[in-house]
Amino acid sequence: MLEPAFDRPGAPRAEPVSDPERPIFILGCSWRCGSTLLQRYVNSTKAAFVWGENLALTAAVGRLLDPVRAWGELSREQAETFRVEAHGAWIANLNPCPEQATRRVVRAALAALYGPPTAAMGLDRWGFKEVRHGAEEARLLLAAFPHARIIFVVRRVQDVLASNLSTGWIDQVGGADGVLRQWIGACASMARIDDRRILTLRYEDLCADRAAVTARLADHLEIDPSSFQAGVLYAPIRGALSPPRSTPLAEVERARPAVRALMDTYYGAAGAWGPEGAEAAFSRRDDECRL
């Protein structure tokens, strides 16, 4: 009897060991976290080209099959009926299971968008950076590209807020509350992922311990450490017109428990707020904020 091509959700099909796609994805904890500095640093190796932000394209592509997904249970019921009754079954809503197809759609779309223009530069390794993603998108990217590498950039929340407050577009992302929601959501979800293909990097380490961070990056990305151009780290480009502003304590008061817990997770209780402590860190002017 003819069987419908209705894939059941399950373990993803392995890509060939010789899979040529080894993209690099830089995911930032929020806007103004240092992801662009890291993007420029990786690009300085000329071993890959990491493109800029794409307004959460991965998530958008992942939703392309939502119309099919909406039929889910009904489609599964009709598949079972078809297996028994064949052409005598009612199959008006029968569709393949979209879960594995989603991975393939994301892979095809991103490779088609970034692969050719990167190859035109004489490079075969591409990637992009994004500050609107979290663990869900990271898992989807790794399912689509099993040999990919992800770098998650985290920065102290008080510095992220101070830098965002100096931009002219903070209201477009929901103001300080929007920045906090993104920071908390990304940091909380990424902290729950344990995958060797993901490297968590603190922006502060990138500035303070360049040699050690470069060695970690080179190992993670499998790039010659000598190809990184250290001068990039000594010449950050802010990309914002105003100096960093002070971070009002009131802006984070409602989110204080979640913020404290995550800062402890990524920085440790002693290193999260700096020598002046949490209260002073939130109310001071961030004169040392480089981005």
Other Cβ atoms within 10 Å of 50 Cβ, number: 24
- For the chain, 291 residues long, give each residue's pLDDT as a single digit of tens: 445 555 555 444 554 556 789 999 999 999 999 999 999 999 999 999 999 999 999 999 999 999 999 999 999 999 999 999 999 999 999 999 898 899 999 999 999 999 999 999 999 999 999 999 999 999 999 999 999 999 999 999 988 988 998 888 899 999 888 999 999 999 999 999 999 999 999 999 998 999 999 999 999 999 999 999 999 998 878 887 677 776 655 566 667 788 889 999 999 876 666 555 555 544 443 333 334
What are the φ and ψ backbone dihedral angles of 174, each rounded to 5 degrees? 95, 15
243/166 Cα distance (integer angstroms): 6
User: Which of 174, 169, 153, 191 shows the shortest CA–CA distance to 251?
Assistant: 174
152/190 Cα distance (integer angstroms): 8
H/E run at residue 126: strand 126-130
Residue 102, class by beta-carbon neighbours within 10 Å (0-12 exposed, 13-18 middle, 19+ buried)?
Answer: buried
